[in-house]
Amino acid sequence: MQITDKNTSTESSIPAEKITRAFTQAKTEGRGVLIPYFMCGYPSAEQSIELIVAAVEGGADIIELGMPFSDPLADGATVQHAGHIALQRGMNIKGCMEIARQVSARTSVALILMGYYNPVMAYGLERFCADARANGVSGLIIPDLPPEEAGPLQQIAQANGLTLIFLLPPTTTDKRIQQVVDLTLSEGNGFIYCVSLSGVTGSRDELPAHLHSFIERIHGYTNGRIPLAVGFGLSTPAHIAEVTSYAEGAVVGSALIHLIDKHSPQEQVTAIRQYIQSLAQK
């Protein structure tokens, strides 16, 4: 559990090092890193903070904070639904920063903002990265930002001690894998987000048959120098156990939104904490 008193914690001068430490600790303990995804502002700003803290109490190692966007191309119906509700209730980048601030004040977990590039550009790259650091964020995931165009944001992120994390789908070319490996190595912290299947997010009953070979293909380029985390479609303890037998981390997103939707506000915190405990390999 990474709950902390912010006044007595010692924070690294490089926020991204929190991510590296999470993977290092998990490796020492012989398990994978568990990375839950929460949409900021869903089901409300206040409740999303409590749910994130409950996930940390349940054993989450890193938290992805989703920033809602009106045109989320990579999101399946479940995440789109959560983002739509969050936007309707007034969530924006400034609100996501406030959620990060409150979570980082109550826990020592690494936080990663995940969202689309247009709102980030509209907010201003310099301002976005500076505010992210000031509010306890360690990394960024921008799914619609290709590596070829990521230079400006990556440079500003690194100047603020943040890491920019890239996604690789199963259909990716060898050239793209090498490019993402080189960019990630240049940062010195972070991981590569391996998308389990081509398409949008959403929980599924079975993991793709090709997943293990896909991860081994990327391992051939990283040679153990960069952690790999698998996301899209993971929802059960068996999924997490299987994925972390050949990758260093696992991301769970849509299943958490389904769980929130199935419980009353009074039940959600306990339900999330218990679900994360069932997934955590601790």
Nearest of 143, 149, 58 to residue 107 by alpha carbon: 58
Set 75, 182, 205, 206: catalytic member: 75
Set 17, 57, 61, 64: catalytic member: 64
CB 223 within 8 A of CB 177: no
3-state secondary structure the chain: CCECCCCCCCCCCCCCHHHHHHHHHHHHCCCCEEEEEEECCCCCHHHHHHHHHHHHHHCCCEEEEECCCCCCCCCCHHHHHHHHHHHHCCCCHHHHHHHHHHHHHHECCEEEEECCHHHHHHHCHHHHHHHHHHCCCCEEECCCCCHHHCHHHHHHHHHCCCEEECEECCCCCHHHHHHHHHHHHHHCCCCEEEECCCCCCCCCCCCCCCHHHHHHHHHHHHCCCCCEEEECCCCCHHHHHHHCCCCCEEEECHHHHHHHHHCCHHHHHHHHHHHHHHHCCC
Please confirm, yes or no, whether 187 is among the known catalytic residues: no
Please confirm, yes or no, whether 75 is among the known catalytic residues: yes
Catalytic sites, residue numbers: 64, 75
